[in-house]
Structure 1
């Protein structure tokens, strides 16, 4: 210190600490001249002594004016050193950087000014301190004092110029520093960071694109900033990087894809649009590289297909089609299970368009990778079953197509029908609301006869008799009314003259027995009028209830539809179809006279030309055995007799109805027992209330007769 004091006049040191800037400036100029002379003489030890004195007595002083003088003095030393300044930078720069955090804003301002002057002198030699300078500037960019901010901006521009012309700048060392600050929310810091990203990306020798995954998420984060200027700067930087990606053969799509997937779900609309646009380009450019990330990408695309913003929807749909059009194999890293998991998840989306696209993916995977998809069926079947309750018919129809595709295998077909029966059993509302749609569509996709036979097989031994009856009635109504089942109805009509029709009739009859009206309808359809008459006459008092009459009303109305036109035409020949006539009169006798169905059927029967029916025919019909064998003609022209054993069928029907009657009685007993229990509980409650309302001055002798709980009787 003594050497330094002898080199610099005391008056200079006094002026260096003066409160007036002009005096400090003049003192600095004198120091600059002295240092210049020492440098020319090569007396660097003395220069180091002067620097140490400026640091200890001035830059590190508790007095603000001393600190200001120390900073301007250090800058003056650097200017005086000129080209020799590099060897003293390790002494000069640290105290200046430390002053950037000074509590006095004027000191911080002078620190910026000093470092600016130092940087102008040393230029490229300054790069060794870049990371520390960058850190200091990052903080000063958000300084509370506008003059400090302004000075920091000037210094920042100079540092950028130095970096862009330097060949010593290390991007590898800089990136961790940048990454650590990318999620800062301060708008000034964000502008500062975007500025540096843009500048460095413009330098040909600096590969910012290679490090894009390290700060991409931060840039996307800035797209939702409240400042329009910051959003614009971030968008501009991202657009430039995307263009570079398109022109670059080597890009790490995978790491960036993970970031984009997250950002595609951002609540900010502009961020979502930018992310989905990037994903769209990635899918087109990355192709094979992105195969392991298909599931994550699909998870981002499907929700965007239903976005409220049309631009996002358009890009998402385009990306989805692009992705679905690519042919990838599990050996390439294509994760079928992960794709299915995403599709299953999106089946519960609140948006119809997304649910439909999820089903399209499952369908596409079934076509391309059937065995693999089937192997994951246990995880998928429940989701597909739940989707049958979807509010959208379009979704339900697609679900059924997927089910039908799976059910091409016999074991999966049987499982499908079984699960449908169980689903309808648990959700009666679904059966009522969507049962017809489900059954009709499956009949188109999987062969109506096969579907109906399997339903019948499942319902034949159903223990929930109430459900079985309801389900059979629903299947029967669909059979009688649906255009899609016209061929199946035609086959049933040939039950008495065709072996295939006979087999179908027998298959359906076993479960149709759960419902008297369904059984009668089936017999009418099969033209087994004699058996229909026997079924009606076998009904007991308990069978003809309100539910039966409602079903009968529906049947009478159906008789007037084109489906049963053949029956109405057969009535023109009552002599040939006496059992049909008897069946219809049996139904008429069961209907209440005041009902509309009674009037409708009676009106129809009045049109029958009974005058053509002879007395002998009536006698023969009434005495004839309704279960006599019926002649049928085989395809080769030979005649044979039907093997339908209608007598055993009637017994089967009666046994099933007996089970239903026992079930109804059991339910009635349970209901009466429950009602009785409730009545007893009410009575006990009332008695307890009456007891508690008795006067408290009851004599002991009286109290004992009340049998109060907990009181011993003697």
Structure 2
């Protein structure tokens, strides 16, 4: 140390710690000159001693002025060393960097100034300290003192210039430090980091793109910054990276896909849009290579389809279609179960568009990978059944298409109808609101006769008789009014002469026994008029309740619709269709006795019967006289259609009907 003191004049030593900057500066200039002389004479040992003295006596001094003098002195030594400074950097740079965290802002400022001057001399030689310097500059960028910030900014520019021209800079060593800092919230630090990312990405020799997954999440985090400037800087950096990816797609897209999926659900609109745009581009570039990420990507896309921002909705829909159009197989790693799980979760979305697309995915998977989907059926079946209660008709129709796809297998067809009846029983409002829609659509998708036969079989053994009655009434109304069931009606109209129609009538009969009016309607449809009349006569006072009268009102009105045109035409030949007349008069009398004579339905039926021509009866015999004449010992039916019903034991059917009605009466009494 004595060598250092002897090499430096006492005045220089004294002035380095002076309060006045000018005196410290002049002392530094003298020190620089001294070091130059020592360098030219080979006095490297003395120079090392001087550096040690500056660190110990000045840089580490408890006095602020001394510390400032030490920093300017170290810079002066470096300038004096010039081209030989590199061999002393291990001594010079660490104390300067350490001073960046000094509690005195003037010392921090002096540290920036000193390192600036050192860097100008050694240039790329100080790259070995880059990480420490970067870390210090990162902190100084948010310094509380404006002068320190300004000095750090100038130093930062110089360091960037040096790094961009250096062959010694290690991106591998730098990225972990960058990643560690990316989630800092301070706006000055964020600007500092984005600035470095932008600069380094512009250096052809530095492959920053290859390390993008390490700091991508941090950049996306900045998109929601409160500062517009920071958001734009982050967006510009991301846009540049995306362009590079498009031009040279050789990055770890898998890791980035995971980040993008998370950011697609950000509460910030700008972040969501950027993330979904990146996902869209990834699917375009590597759709068939993203197989293992399909479920995660789909989980991000489906909610965005219903985003409040139209731009996000548009990109999400396009991405969804792209993803669904990619042809992959389970052997490629395509996880059908994972996709189904995502779709099932999204069926609970508050947004109709998302639920619809979730169902489209299930339907697409069922068409392309039926075997795999059926393996996971138990996981999604209950959810699909519950979806039948959805508030959207479009959703319900899609649910039914999916169910129909599943029900192509006879085992699952039976399971579907059983579950459907169970849901109708558990939720009566579902039957009221959606019963017709569900049944009609299933009849289109799965064959009306097959659906009605299965429903009838289930309802035949239904323990809840009140529900069975309600369900049969609903099915009967659908049968009589829906265009989708026209072929089924045609089959039933020929049931007394057609074997297929006869089998269908018998199949429906047992369950239709739960509702007298449904049974009468079925008989009118099947042209089994004599049996319809007998059913009416079998009714007792307890059967004529409010529900019965409501159904009677509906039937009378339906008789005037195009579906029963054939029946109204038959009334023009009363002599040939006497049992039809007797049935209709039975309905009229029932309505009259039930005090319905003031209702419009009663008036409609009465008017219709008044139009029946009387001249067709032989000898002008009054209708009731004519009917009395044929009640005993007469023909069993009115015409060829009604006499050709061998194989249908209507007497046995009537007993079956009466037994079921007795059960209904007994259950009603028990409830009372």
**Would the TM-score normalized by the shorter structure come out above 0.5?**
yes
| CA distance in 2: counterparts of 1:590 and 1:287, whole angstroms | 70
Structure 2 residue aligned with 1:216: 216
| CA distance in 2: counterparts of 1:452 and 1:239, whole angstroms | 59
Structure 1 residue aligned with 2:194: 194
Unaligned 5+ residue runs, structure 2? none
Alignment of 1:13 with 2:13, yes or no, is yes
Structure 2 residue aligned with 1:136: 136
Q: 2:632 aligns with which of 623, 629, 632?
A: 623
Structure 1 residue aligned with 2:119: 119
Q: Work out whether residues 530 and 583 of structure 1, in 8 Å CA contact, stay in contact via their aligned partners in 2.
A: yes
Determine helix, strand or coil for the equivalent of 1:659: helix
1:305-454 correspondence to structure 2 within 5 Å: 305-454=305-454
Structure 2 residue aligned with 1:65: 65
Q: Work out whether residues 336 and 373 of structure 2, in 8 Å CA contact, stay in contact via their aligned partners in 1.
A: yes
Structure 1 residue aligned with 2:503: 503
| CA distance in 1: counterparts of 2:66 and 2:513, whole angstroms | 108
Q: Residue by residue, what CA displacement relative to the aligned partner does 1:195-227 show, whole Å, maximum 9, x if unpaired?
A: 111111111111111100000000011111111
Alignment of 1:603 with 2:612, yes or no, is no
Please tell me the root mean square deviation across aligned C-alpha atoms, in Å.
1.5
Deviation at 1:351, TM superposition (A): 1.2
Structure 2 residue aligned with 1:693: none
Structure 1 residue aligned with 2:47: 47
| CA distance in 2: counterparts of 1:192 and 1:336, whole angstroms | 45
Q: Quick one: structure 1 residues 625 and 414, their matched pair in 2 at CA, closer, same or farther if it must change by over 3 Å?
A: farther
| CA distance in 2: counterparts of 1:626 and 1:106, whole angstroms | 123
Query: Normalising by the residue count of structure 1, what TM-score does the alignment of the two structures yield?
Result: 0.91
Deviation at 1:405, TM superposition (A): 1.1
Q: Work out whether residues 496 and 526 of structure 2, in 8 Å CA contact, stay in contact via their aligned partners in 1.
A: yes
| CA distance in 2: counterparts of 1:86 and 1:235, whole angstroms | 40
Structure 2 residue aligned with 1:37: 37
Determine helix, strand or coil for the equivalent of 2:541: coil
| CA distance in 2: counterparts of 1:400 and 1:412, whole angstroms | 13
Determine helix, strand or coil for the equivalent of 1:226: coil
Aligned length: 663
| CA distance in 1: counterparts of 2:351 and 2:35, whole angstroms | 76
Q: Work out whether residues 579 and 637 of structure 2, in 8 Å CA contact, stay in contact via their aligned partners in 1.
A: no
| CA distance in 1: counterparts of 2:379 and 2:48, whole angstroms | 76
Q: Work out whether residues 631 and 642 of structure 1, in 8 Å CA contact, stay in contact via their aligned partners in 2.
A: no
Determine helix, strand or coil for the equivalent of 1:611: coil
Q: Work out whether residues 531 and 626 of structure 1, in 8 Å CA contact, stay in contact via their aligned partners in 2.
A: no
Determine helix, strand or coil for the equivalent of 2:181: coil
Q: Quick one: structure 1 residues 381 and 630, their matched pair in 2 at CA, closer, same or farther if it must change by over 3 Å?
A: farther
1:412-561 correspondence to structure 2 within 5 Å: 412-561=412-561
Structure 2 residue aligned with 1:661: 665
| CA distance in 2: counterparts of 1:620 and 1:38, whole angstroms | 147
Q: Work out whether residues 579 and 638 of structure 2, in 8 Å CA contact, stay in contact via their aligned partners in 1.
A: no
Determine helix, strand or coil for the equivalent of 1:327: coil
Structure 2 residue aligned with 1:643: 647
Determine helix, strand or coil for the equivalent of 2:587: helix
Q: Work out whether residues 306 and 313 of structure 2, in 8 Å CA contact, stay in contact via their aligned partners in 1.
A: yes
| CA distance in 1: counterparts of 2:59 and 2:268, whole angstroms | 48
Structure 1 residue aligned with 2:577: 577
Q: Residue by residue, what CA displacement relative to the aligned partner does 1:582-639 show, whole Å, maximum 9, x if unpaired?
A: 1111111111223332222111111111232234853442214786798669xxxxx9
Deviation at 1:387, TM superposition (A): 1.2
Q: Work out whether residues 577 and 638 of structure 2, in 8 Å CA contact, stay in contact via their aligned partners in 1.
A: no
Q: Quick one: structure 1 residues 625 and 404, their matched pair in 2 at CA, closer, same or farther if it must change by over 3 Å?
A: farther
Deviation at 1:641, TM superposition (A): 5.4
Determine helix, strand or coil for the equivalent of 2:543: coil
Query: Normalising by the residue count of structure 2, what TM-score does the alignment of the two structures yield?
Result: 0.97
Deviation at 1:556, TM superposition (A): 0.9
Unaligned 5+ residue runs, structure 1? 634-638, 669-714
Q: Quick one: structure 1 residues 252 and 143, their matched pair in 2 at CA, closer, same or farther if it must change by over 3 Å?
A: same
| CA distance in 2: counterparts of 1:311 and 1:659, whole angstroms | 62
Of the structure 1 ranges 424-433 and 382-391, higher mean CA displacement relative to structure 2 is found in 382-391
Q: Work out whether residues 629 and 642 of structure 1, in 8 Å CA contact, stay in contact via their aligned partners in 2.
A: no
Determine helix, strand or coil for the equivalent of 1:357: helix
| CA distance in 2: counterparts of 1:613 and 1:468, whole angstroms | 42
Structure 2 residue aligned with 1:150: 150
Of the structure 1 ranges 613-622 and 387-396, higher mean CA displacement relative to structure 2 is found in 613-622
Q: Work out whether residues 194 and 233 of structure 2, in 8 Å CA contact, stay in contact via their aligned partners in 1.
A: yes
Alignment of 1:91 with 2:95, yes or no, is no
Q: Work out whether residues 324 and 361 of structure 1, in 8 Å CA contact, stay in contact via their aligned partners in 2.
A: yes
| CA distance in 2: counterparts of 1:98 and 1:548, whole angstroms | 95
| CA distance in 2: counterparts of 1:571 and 1:246, whole angstroms | 78
Structure 2 residue aligned with 1:689: none
| CA distance in 2: counterparts of 1:457 and 1:624, whole angstroms | 36
| CA distance in 1: counterparts of 2:630 and 2:558, whole angstroms | 26
| CA distance in 2: counterparts of 1:457 and 1:248, whole angstroms | 64
Determine helix, strand or coil for the equivalent of 1:349: coil
| CA distance in 1: counterparts of 2:526 and 2:299, whole angstroms | 53
| CA distance in 2: counterparts of 1:252 and 1:71, whole angstroms | 45
| CA distance in 1: counterparts of 2:469 and 2:10, whole angstroms | 114
Q: Quick one: structure 1 residues 641 and 208, their matched pair in 2 at CA, closer, same or farther if it must change by over 3 Å?
A: same
Q: Quick one: structure 1 residues 85 and 623, their matched pair in 2 at CA, closer, same or farther if it must change by over 3 Å?
A: same
| CA distance in 1: counterparts of 2:213 and 2:443, whole angstroms | 53
| CA distance in 1: counterparts of 2:645 and 2:261, whole angstroms | 71
Deviation at 1:33, TM superposition (A): 0.9
Q: Work out whether residues 576 and 639 of structure 2, in 8 Å CA contact, stay in contact via their aligned partners in 1.
A: no
| CA distance in 2: counterparts of 1:475 and 1:538, whole angstroms | 23
| CA distance in 2: counterparts of 1:5 and 1:555, whole angstroms | 120
Determine helix, strand or coil for the equivalent of 2:389: coil
Deviation at 1:288, TM superposition (A): 2.6
| CA distance in 2: counterparts of 1:156 and 1:626, whole angstroms | 112
Deviation at 1:289, TM superposition (A): 2.0
| CA distance in 2: counterparts of 1:613 and 1:477, whole angstroms | 34
| CA distance in 2: counterparts of 1:485 and 1:625, whole angstroms | 36
Q: Quick one: structure 1 residues 272 and 169, their matched pair in 2 at CA, closer, same or farther if it must change by over 3 Å?
A: same
Determine helix, strand or coil for the equivalent of 1:157: helix
Q: Work out whether residues 496 and 645 of structure 2, in 8 Å CA contact, stay in contact via their aligned partners in 1.
A: no
Deviation at 1:66, TM superposition (A): 0.7
Q: Residue by residue, what CA displacement relative to the aligned partner does 1:421-460 show, whole Å, maximum 9, x if unpaired?
A: 0011111101000100111111111111111101101100
Deviation at 1:234, TM superposition (A): 0.7
Q: Work out whether residues 495 and 501 of structure 1, in 8 Å CA contact, stay in contact via their aligned partners in 2.
A: yes
